[in-house]
Structure 1
């Protein structure tokens, strides 16, 4: 029964979008809840990564016009960057 409820909670989560464009993440700070999905969409002309500084997640290279998604499972504050362009930084807050 708990497994079914966990699946239901995840399915009921909200999807958020972060746009990668002009060498930045927009929005740079995003607050979500456990079970929510975050989709990073690369609208730049070159690849980027979404890499958690704590190693919590890593998209590897996201090609132009491609996306990568992550389901937030644990609460916390997750700072991330693009490992190809280290001045690009963002924060994901999971409540």
Structure 2
């Protein structure tokens, strides 16, 4: 391989790696028996929250600040990528007693 081509490949690999979040995680939260579990989760910007609805009725994961509103059909999953730090309270629009909180670090 010529040194020019080698440098171009090295630059692509280096800059390509920088575009991908280094430690992004997928965090699973379960909705079952009209309860969100766990009800408090710590995460980071770039992480994905995946809600799993194990109930036979629909739920939502609706952020009070408007950051997300995920519809969860019975026995289905839905997700959202966290885009900004802060504390986000969320609930199910169909069952307002189902409440939870995300603490999102930068």
CA–CA distance in 1 between the matches of 2:69 and 2:62? 4
Is 1:93 aligned to 2:99, yes or no?
Answer: no
Relative contact order, CA 8 A, sep 6+: which one is greater?
1
What's the TM-score once normalised by structure 2's chain length? 0.79
**C-alpha RMSD of the superposition:** 1.7
What's the TM-score once normalised by structure 1's chain length? 0.88
CA–CA distance in 2 between the matches of 1:36 and 1:64? 24
CA–CA distance in 2 between the matches of 1:26 and 1:80? 13
1:27-62 alpha-carbon deviations (Å, 9 max, x no partner): 0000001111110000011000000011111013x1
Q: List gaps (5 residues or longer) in structure 2.
A: 1-11
Deviation at 1:71, TM superposition (A): 0.8
Is 1:73 aligned to 2:83, yes or no?
Answer: yes
Which one has the largest radius of gyration?
A: 2
CA–CA distance in 2 between the matches of 1:93 and 1:44? 25
